[in-house]
Amino acid sequence: MSTLTARPSLTKTHSAYDCHTGAMLRDALEALGIVHHVDQPWRGLPTEYLVCSVPGRARVWIHCVADPSARTPEGRQFADHYDLPAVALRAVAATVTDDEGTQFVYNGFGDEHKPTASAGMQAGQCAAAVAEHFGLTLPEPERVCVHCGRGIEWIEDDGQGAWYDSSNWIECVDGESLHAPEPLCGWCEDYGLIEVFDDSFDSLKGHTTCDNAPCVARAEKRAAEYERKRAAEEAEAAAHVCADHLCCPPF
């Protein structure tokens, strides 16, 4: 549960060595309800994979490809592994081997997913691709009032709408405030942007796009829904045949 007093943006200024792809991928997969575990299929190689599975389907194997120019603090080159420091990541890849052969479920090297994308963004995109491959859908999260902690839902009323208690459709129990939803994203508090502070002076340097996997997935879902609605409206308008000269403006 996120709180309004937290400042998650401060963690974004930490050294990228503090951020590892393993944790990002795990968080992204768990947020979408994808069961996964770590496996090392070839004992002679140090590479470990995140393996995703659903009953009756071929398993999906996720690994991270290291940037050849990245070096460890000791000067060694990073080996490919599912758990790399964010600074050492070149691309995330997910593959599946089935009756049709081996193919990408998510290709971090492709035109859609450039290796320059942040590690968190690639982790979220990869998890979303795996969920789509398995046909999994993420249920809508329950919203909770930031004032009273009760579960709330949005009720439309003549195009206006308001947040009401899910159990009995009443207003906030404190008697003064309207229900307001607790932010779903603990990084950006649903604004879509994260404040970036200077490491030395703690002053605000600017903003960066939130790449928290659930936040990215919700944004992509909203964009897809908007595109479907727009396409449906365009198709309806194209199919419309005017009855007379006063049917549609301009008259």
Distance of CA 115 to the CA centre of its chain: 17
Among 51, 215, 199, 36, CA closest to 118: 215
Output DSSP code: residue 178: P
pLDDT in tens, the chain (251 residues): 333 333 333 333 334 455 889 998 998 898 888 999 998 877 666 578 999 998 888 999 999 998 888 888 888 888 888 899 888 888 999 999 888 888 999 988 875 555 556 788 888 889 888 998 998 876 677 888 888 888 888 887 766 778 888 777 676 765 566 788 888 887 788 888 887 777 666 677 778 888 777 787 778 777 878 888 888 888 888 888 887 777 777 65
Q: How far apart are the first and last CA of the chain?
A: 55
CA atoms within a 13 Å half-sphere pointing along the CA-CB vector of 136: 21
Give the CA dihedral 66, 8, 184, 215, nearest 10 degrees.
-30
* C-alpha span between 119 and 94 (Å, rounded): 14
Q: Choose among 83, 103, 85: nearest CA to 26.
A: 83
Spell out the domain ranges in the chain: 21-134, 143-239
Nearest to 87 by CA among 13, 154, 21: 21
- State the Cα–Cα distance between residues 102 and 45, nearest whole angstrom: 20
Flag whether the pTM goes above 0.75. Answer: no
The residues, any chain, with a CB within 8 Å of residue 246's CB and separated by 6 or more, are none
Q: Which of 79, 104, 102 is nearest to 89 (CA)?
A: 79
- Single-letter amino acid code for the residue at 42: W
